């Protein structure tokens, strides 16, 4: 008989942003699959086993977890943030879709979490207060020209844009190129938010104007949010400025 | 001296999807502002006061909460889902932006929550596993032609689309019109997910094909997710089918 396969998100890393539902899943599982730093966020007991894999081995990890659950174990696949946003839930579904028939019998329980853009937005105001999109800037999984097209169409349509995976050692130039493309569409003063490790002790939130936005501020732990033409900054004395996108548009077709 | 103004989200309504961080904010506040059904999700003590207002009075509610916090109370503004996604965080920022200077001195603490599209996605697989956007279908706050343009550009760019506020008594035809527009851009078999009250006892999740998608399935408590051309369905015997969007695209520019 198959075991259960939980897919959870830890949230961005602040333990108080992890839901009771996700913690209850952790309590039920014996075997944990994930990238080491995400597994490190969990408090496991002596009988619970960690199966650490590298950040880029999602499909192998999903297969290993499915095999174990199919053999009867209660298994937990651990993502940061929300498991459904550029994370393990899609990898597990891909593995089921292309795997042996018995993997379809595994009881799959996906548990939502706080994804990075929500945590970053909360720290700075309400930049996602109106229509928005989320784009992974990684061109490991899709051609760069698709990303360029999406950036341009999203900006032209008036979406606020949240960028996941903005930069890495192997992908050093893509974020700068994205800013360059967006400068051709959006006003120079459009706010750009660099939200690193939101809610964690090493949190760092910076706001720049698109005109001067500096891609080197971002690292792998950063979610970048680029405003729309409607996004505004509220200056405050003695407190961080707020960035928000109003809920309304008064004008006609953009 | 000003009090604190917390803006929290309860998540979609399952108490186990509300974070400890949000519960800690509730414990610190004396006055609670929100739509009645959202306030009903909180367990308040005898000294904590409820200030109920109608669902469409966001800006008045934000002003009342800011006045109270500015007068020294610790106040909590309560949204469903995540407060930063089509909810009260933007309304509070708008009120600060247009309000008296002392409102800028209020200590504003926004706390993220599980937004509806993440909860719905988790119940069905991983439809948001690739680039996606969130659009409020309400034309109370923006012209309908802006919405039409965004729907078309989002679908052409290959985004999965999550629709908030899909339908109401005052807005009966918009969702049907949205499906009609999208049928001209997306394949007939594109999966459409109707996710109502995800995680609550009255949850109802339905999947249809865009070709036959029936807007009357949605109500005010529904989040509708429309796949991209890449979104797939995995048939399973004896279990709900899974819907997911692969993390990768193999082709070239769409």
Range name among A130-134, A178-182, B57-61, B107-111 with the lowest pLDDT average: B57-61
Cα A85 from Cα A82, distance rounded (Å): 6
How far out from the chain centre does Cα B167 lie? 13
Q: Is A102 on the interface with B (CB under 8 A)?
A: no
Structure tokens that stand for B157 in this block: 């760019």
Q: Parallel, antiparallel, or unpaired for β A125-126 and B191-196? A: unpaired
Structure tokens that stand for B179 in this block: 């499906």
Termini Cα distance of chain B: 56
Collapsing DSSP states into helix, strand and coil, what is residue A236? coil
Q: Residue A48 has what pLDDT? A: 98
Per-residue pLDDT of A183-219, as tens digits, reads 999 999 999 999 999 999 999 999 999 999 999 999 9
Structure tokens that stand for B37 in this block: 């059904």
- For the CA atoms of B52, B54, B60, B61, the dihedral, rounded to the nearest 10 degrees, stands at 40
Query: Residue A150: its chain B contacts at CB < 8 A?
Result: 131, 157-159
B94 and A123 within 8 Å at the Cβ level: the answer is no
Q: Residue B251 has what pLDDT? A: 55
Using pLDDT thresholds of 50, 70 and 90, give the confidence band for residue A249. confident
Mutate to test the interface with A, among B10, B43, B70, B93 (most CBs of A within 10 A): B93
Cα B165 from Cα B149, distance rounded (Å): 17
CATH numbers and ranges of domains, chain A: 4-110 (3.40.1010.10), 116-244 (3.30.950.10)
Measured CA to CA in angstroms, residue B30 lies from A184, A208, B8 at distances of: 48, 36, 14
Per-residue pLDDT of A19-28, as tens digits, reads 999 999 999 9
Helices A144-157 and B144-157 sit at what angle, rounded to 10 degrees?
Answer: 180
Using pLDDT thresholds of 50, 70 and 90, give the confidence band for residue A234. very high
Structure tokens that stand for B201 in this block: 């006892």
Q: Residue B252 has what pLDDT? A: 40
B105 and A237 within 8 Å at the Cβ level: the answer is yes
**What kind and span of H or E run contains A247?**
none
Tell me the shortest Cα–Cα distance from B51 to chain A, in angstroms.
22
Residue B208: burial class (beta carbons within 10 Å; 0-12, 13-18, 19+): middle
Per-residue pLDDT of B18-72, as tens digits, reads 999 999 999 999 999 999 999 999 999 999 999 999 877 899 999 999 999 999 9
- Which residue in chain B has the smallest CA separation from A252? B143
When CB atoms are compared, the residue of B24, B90, B130 closest to A244 is B90
Tell me the shortest Cα–Cα distance from B203 to chain A, in angstroms.
15
Mutate to test the interface with A, among B43, B114, B147 (most CBs of A within 10 A): B114
B90 and A126 within 8 Å at the Cβ level: the answer is yes
A58 and B21 within 8 Å at the Cβ level: the answer is no
**List of residues 6+ apart from A24 with CB closer than 8 A:** B16
Query: Residue B246: its chain A contacts at CB < 8 A?
Result: 90, 94
Cα A155 from Cα B126, distance rounded (Å): 25
Q: Is B60 on the interface with A (CB under 8 A)?
A: no
A249 and B156 within 8 Å at the Cβ level: the answer is no
Q: Is A143 on the interface with B (CB under 8 A)?
A: yes
Query: Residue A247: its chain B contacts at CB < 8 A?
Result: 58, 86, 90-91, 94, 136, 141
- 147-186 in chain B: CB under 8 A from chain A: 149-150, 153-154, 156-159
ipTM: 0.97
Residue in A50, A35, A48 with CA at minimum distance from that of residue A81: A35
Residue in A175, A126, A170 with CA at minimum distance from that of residue A151: A175
Query: Residue A160: its chain B contacts at CB < 8 A?
Result: none
Asked whether the predicted pLDDT for residue B250 surpasses 80, the reply is: no
DSSP state of B64: H
Residue in B236, B212, B214 with CA at minimum distance from that of residue B224: B214
**Cβ count near B76 (within 10 Å):** 29
- Which residue in chain A has the smallest CA separation from B154? A154
Beta strands across the sheet bearing B31-35: B49-53, B31-35, B75-79, B4-9, B107-110
Cα B65 from Cα A103, distance rounded (Å): 51
- Which residue in chain B has the smallest CA separation from A130? B86
A114 and B113 within 8 Å at the Cβ level: the answer is yes
A107 and B141 within 8 Å at the Cβ level: the answer is no
**List of residues 6+ apart from A67 with CB closer than 8 A:** none
Residue in A72, A51, A62 with CA at minimum distance from that of residue A96: A62
Residue bearing the bigger pLDDT, A135 or B251: A135
């Amino acid at each position: 008989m198959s075991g259960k396969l939980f897919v959870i998100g830890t949230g961005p890393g602040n333990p108080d942003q992890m839901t009771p539902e996700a913690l209850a899943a952790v309590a039920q599982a014996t075997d944990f699959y994930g990238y080491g730093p995400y597994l490190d966020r969990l408090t496991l007991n002596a009988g619970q086993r960690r199966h650490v894999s590298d950040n880029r081995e999602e499909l192998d990890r999903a297969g290993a977890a499915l095999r174990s659950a199919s053999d009867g174990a209660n298994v937990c696949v651990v993502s940061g943030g929300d498991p459904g946003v550029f994370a393990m839930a899609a990898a597990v579904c891909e593995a089921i879709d292309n795997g042996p028939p018995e993997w379809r019998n595994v009881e799959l329980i996906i548990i939502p979490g706080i994804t990075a853009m929500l945590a970053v937005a909360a720290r700075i105001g309400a930049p996602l207060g109106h229509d928005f999109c989320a784009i992974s800037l990684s061109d490991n999984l899709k051609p760069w020209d698709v990303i360029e097209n999406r950036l341009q169409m999203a900006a032209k349509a008036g979406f606020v844009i949240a960028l996941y995976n903005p930069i890495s050692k192997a992908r050093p130039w893509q974020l700068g190129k994205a800013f360059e493309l967006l400068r051709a569409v959006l006003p120079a003063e459009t706010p750009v938010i660099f939200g690193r490790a939101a809610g964690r002790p090493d949190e760092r939130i910076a706001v720049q104007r698109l005109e001067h936005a500096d891609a080197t501020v971002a690292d792998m732990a950063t979610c970048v949010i680029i405003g729309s033409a409607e996004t505004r900054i509220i200056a405050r004395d003695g407190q961080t400025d707020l960035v928000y996108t109003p809920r309304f548009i008064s004008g006609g077709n953009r």
